[in-house]
């Protein structure tokens, strides 16, 4: 499977615009799997929480990995 990535602007239309240079890379016939990813808005709280989790001390069970540095 080959992946082609691009960004496009969404509008009220039910059509998804594919840039011309990307369309030229696609086969003329066959099936394609389409996955649309959109921004969910401000993820500041999630980023801050994950950063705090990352900086947290390891549990005693994970301390064994500290000696392999």
Higher pLDDT, 43 or 21: 21
pLDDT in tens, 24-49: 999 999 999 999 888 777 777 888 88
Evaluate whether residue 44 is within a structural domain: yes
Evaluate whether residue 46 is within a structural domain: yes
Evaluate whether residue 64 is within a structural domain: no
Average pLDDT across the chain, whole number: 84
Domain extent, residue 44, equals 1-58
Evaluate whether residue 67 is within a structural domain: no
Q: How many domains does the chain have?
A: 1
First-to-last C-alpha distance (Å) of the chain: 38
Evaluate whether residue 65 is within a structural domain: no
**Could you tell me if 53 and 43 are in contact, meaning their C-beta atoms sit under 8 angstroms apart?**
no
Evaluate whether residue 68 is within a structural domain: no
Give the pLDDT score at 27.
92
Evaluate whether residue 30 is within a structural domain: yes
């Amino acid at each position: 499977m080959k992946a082609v990535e691009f960004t496009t602007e969404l509008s009220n239309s039910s059509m998804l615009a594919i840039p011309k240079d990307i369309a030229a890379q696609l086969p003329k016939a066959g099936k394609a799997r389409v996955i649309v990813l959109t921004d969910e808005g401000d993820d500041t709280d999630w980023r801050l929480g994950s950063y705090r989790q990352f900086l947290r001390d390891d549990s005693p069970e994970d301390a064994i990995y500290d000696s392999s540095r």
